[in-house]
Amino acid sequence: MRISRGVVSAVPEDYGPNPAEPIIRLNDVHKVYGSGEDEVRALQGISLTLDPGDYVAIMGPSGSGKSTLMHILGCLDVPTEGEYVLAGTPISQMSARKLARERNKRVGFVFQSFNLLPRANLARNVELPLLYAGVGRAERRERALSALRKVGLGERAKALPSQLSGGQRQRVAIARALVNDPSIVLADEPTGNLDSKTGQEILALFGELHEQGHTVILVTHDPNVASRAGKIIRIVDGKVANGAAS
């Protein structure tokens, strides 16, 4: 039975069949774009394992393949080769439709440019993942308001994104990422569009999420951001360049 709980304060329940099981397991994952002379080998055999509750930063220069890795971790794309298991579910060979469902259920995205829908108020923005999960209207509204309260924006539910500061927008995006109790929170340069003070606040929020038991993955090129995480995975030329991977 699925129990609806408070968002930020709760530990995500969806750990897969066995709590000892890793939340993420990548086994020799390759990703190749194009073919022939245009062939780009973005990922060249990445293997890594993350446990529930991990706080991880994925670092690497641009072109290193960290974006590709993030897309695969976020179920936006599937590997050309290799195996990806997310919370006990093999993702590698999924159809687009099933992939969309996994994404909806297991991944909360936070983007650099917030990516809120400009004409929808905050509550409707935060509700979106629940909408696609098929949650009823009343429950959607309730859970969205609860998520907004957790990021300190409960009073602004009716406001439009354009009426908010950058930091506030990113808080809304975090509320949206958490509203469906995902297995992992995947943040792509979440402080990239923010001034350093606001960036610190957002990073503090991710720290809180981690303390509450959420699995948080930050994708960044900024060492100061990465230093907040418990583990750093460096990607160079489509490969893991440090020992963080198992």
Binding residues for other proteins (CB under 8 A): 71, 74, 76-77, 96-97, 100-101, 103-105, 109, 111, 115, 117, 119-120, 124, 128-129, 131-134, 137, 176, 180
Nearest distance from residue 92's CB to other proteins, in Å? 16
Neighbours of 18 (CB within 10 A): 8
159: amino acid identity, one letter: A
β-bridge partners, 44: 30
178 or 244, CB closer to other proteins? 178
Q: In angstroms, what is the minimal distance from the CB of 76 to other proteins?
A: 5
- The CB-of-189 to other proteins minimum distance in angstroms stands at 13
Smallest separation (angstroms) from other proteins to the CB of 182? 10
Please report the beta strands in the chain, taking only residues with DSSP state E, as ranges in sequence order. Answer: 24-33, 40-50, 55-59, 81-86, 89-90, 107-110, 184-188, 215-220, 231-236, 239-240
Looking at beta carbons only, is 51 or 77 nearer to other proteins? 77
Helices 122-133, 166-178: axis angle to 10 degrees equals: 20
Nearer to other proteins, 47 or 67 (CB): 67
CA atoms in the 13 A half-sphere facing the CB of 61? 4
C-beta closer to other proteins: residue 120 or 241: 120
User: In this complex, which beta carbon is closest to other proteins, that of residue 60 or of residue 74?
Assistant: 74
To the nearest whole angstrom, how small is the minimum distance from the Cβ of residue 230 to other proteins? 25
DSSP category for residue 12: P
67/71 Cα distance (integer angstroms): 6
Residue 108 identity: G
70/80 Cα distance (integer angstroms): 15
Which is nearer to other proteins, 33 or 81 (by Cβ)? Answer: 33
Nearer to other proteins, 68 or 146 (CB): 68
Strand (E) or helix (H) holding 99:
helix 96-106
- What is the C-alpha to C-alpha distance for residues 48 and 84, in angstroms, rounded to an integer? 10
The answer to whether the beta carbons of residues 68 and 77 sit under 8 Å apart is yes
